[in-house]
């Protein structure tokens, strides 16, 4: 649903907005790579449909598929690079506690378009090799703190160039599981629960997403074959412009052999274990990793204090949405 904030003030004109977007992307990318020990690599726009490498998200989103002249089979625009990155770490000879990051561009044609959602997705995908003993909650939390440190550094650089953009993001992360959040607000929907906890704690890492909660429901959908549902989560930040909990990252420690089979069973996706990627994992041919995606346009929208993702990203929007947004000071690119 489209949100039209009252008395919305666009703090940067369109020219300065473009300059600020570059500043945000350059600064955050550099700080993230430094804090997590990441090295930039190139990444695919599409993968073989039968490789098992594409992220099937919640299992209902349709990938954009096509054939290629002189090649057999079908190919898909990636939804994310969650599984490809793990394979790349092995192929590119990365080693323990060293990782990669890349620009990921995707088309998610089944998105419901609003202030936060576009059919065009651009994010930093990152992945890092870890040891077996790193597969714990404390390692996950430390990684989240490192990401927030990069975000705050970017916010201060931006404010130095554009003083009208006052820093507002809290680096003090509040950690809570989806089950604990359900117990706090048992009569609320998942999105309402996220909003309420972010109003109280402006920066939240909501953990353990994907499995069924005590009420028999899932907080949110997660594919069963990349994140370990006991060791994952979302970074949520309170956005004062839209008065909402804004998810900027979904991340986690990835499945090992045991959690992969358990989660495929829980979601009735056992047939996926025979795909090439899954077979490599089950036969100990892939490293243990932690990784995630960080939305580039969402981060720019948040830091530039914009009310619509279309103000920082070129995509397609219904004419009615463009017209209404323009009336309220939001110029959709």
Task: Give the CATH number for residue 138.
Answer: 3.30.930.10
Q: 76, 125, 227, 247: which one is catalytic?
A: 247
| Of 174, 199, 173, residue with least CA distance to 185 | 199
The set of residues, in sequence order, having a beta carbon less than 8 Å from that of 42 and lying 6+ positions away, is: 102
Whether 100 is covered by a domain: the verdict is yes
- DSSP letters spanning 83-137: HHHHHHHHHTT--TT-EEEEEEEEE-TTPPPSSS--SEEEEEEEEEE--GGG-SH
247 is known as an active-site residue = yes
Mean pLDDT confidence for 228-245: 96
Mean pLDDT confidence for 141-159: 97
- DSSP letters spanning 275-298: SHHHHHHHTT-S--EEEEEEEHHH
CA 177 vs CA 137, 185, 221, 223, 327: distances in Å: 11, 13, 15, 18, 40
Whether 286 is covered by a domain: the verdict is yes
Whether 3 is covered by a domain: the verdict is no
pLDDT category at 161 given cuts 50, 70, 90 is very high
Structure confidence by residue, pLDDT tens digits, 70-115: 888 888 888 778 888 988 999 999 999 999 999 988 888 888 899 9
Model's pTM, two decimal places? 0.91
Asked if 139 and 132 touch (Cβ cutoff 8 Å), the reply is no
250 is known as an active-site residue = yes
Report the sign of the C-alpha dihedral through residues 122, 296, 137, 221, in that order.
negative
Whether 254 is covered by a domain: the verdict is yes
CA 3 vs CA 112, 143, 308, 310: distances in Å: 13, 32, 9, 13
Q: 29, 76, 194, 234: which one is catalytic?
A: 234
Whether 7 is covered by a domain: the verdict is no
Q: 178, 208, 250, 297: which one is catalytic?
A: 250
Q: 31, 80, 118, 123: which one is catalytic?
A: 123
Number of CB atoms found within 10 A of residue 142's CB:
10
Supply the DSSP symbol for 48.
Answer: E
114 is known as an active-site residue = no
Q: What is the domain count for the chain?
A: 1
Whether 5 is covered by a domain: the verdict is no
Angle subtended at Cα 31 by Cα 168 and Cα 104, rounded to the nearest 5 degrees: 95
Q: 55, 122, 127, 155: which one is catalytic?
A: 55
234 is known as an active-site residue = yes
Structure confidence by residue, pLDDT tens digits, 37-74: 999 999 888 888 887 777 766 666 788 888 888 888 88
| Res 56: pLDDT | 66
Provide the domain limits for residue 33: 14-327
Count of positions (residues) in the chain: 333
């Amino acid at each position: 649903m489209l949100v039209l904030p009252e008395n919305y003030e666009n703090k940067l004109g369109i020219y300065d907005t473009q300059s600020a977007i570059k500043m945000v992307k350059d600064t955050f990318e550099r700080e993230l790579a430094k804090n997590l020990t990441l090295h930039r690599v190139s990444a695919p726009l599409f993968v073989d449909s039968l490789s098992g490498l594409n992220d099937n998200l919640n299992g209902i989103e349709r990938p954009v598929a096509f054939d290629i002249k002189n090649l057999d089979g079908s190919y898909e625009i990636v939804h994310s690079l969650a599984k490809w990155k793990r394979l790349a770490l092995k192929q590119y000879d990365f080693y323990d506690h060293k990782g990669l990051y890349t620009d990921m561009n995707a088309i998610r044609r089944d998105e419901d378009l609003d202030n936060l959602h576009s059919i065009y997705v651009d994010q930093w995908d990152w992945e890092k090799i870890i040891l077996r003993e790193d597969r714990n909650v404390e390692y996950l939390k430390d990684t989240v703190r490192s990401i927030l440190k990069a975000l705050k550094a970017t916010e201060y650089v931006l404010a130095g160039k554009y003083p009208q953009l006052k820093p507002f993001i809290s680096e003090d992360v509040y950690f809570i599981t989806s089950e604990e959040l359900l117990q706090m607000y048992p009569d609320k929907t998942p999105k309402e629960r996220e909003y309420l906890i972010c109003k109280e704690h402006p920066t939240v890492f909501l953990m353990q997403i994907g499995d069924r909660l005590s009420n028999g429901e899932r907080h949110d959908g997660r594919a069963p074959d990349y994140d370990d549902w006991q060791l994952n989560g979302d970074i949520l930040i309170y956005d004062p412009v839209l008065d909402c909990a804004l998810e900027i990252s979904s991340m986690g420690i990835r499945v090992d052999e045991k959690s992969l089979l358990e989660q495929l069973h829980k979601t009735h996706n056992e047939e996926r274990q025979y795909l090439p990627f899954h077979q490599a994992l089950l036969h100990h041919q892939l490293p243990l990793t932690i990784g995630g995606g960080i939305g580039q346009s969402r981060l720019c929208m948040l830091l530039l204090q914009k009310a619509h993702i279309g103000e920082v990203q070129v995509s397609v929007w219904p004419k009615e949405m463009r017209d209404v947004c323009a009336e309220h000071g939001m110029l959709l690119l």
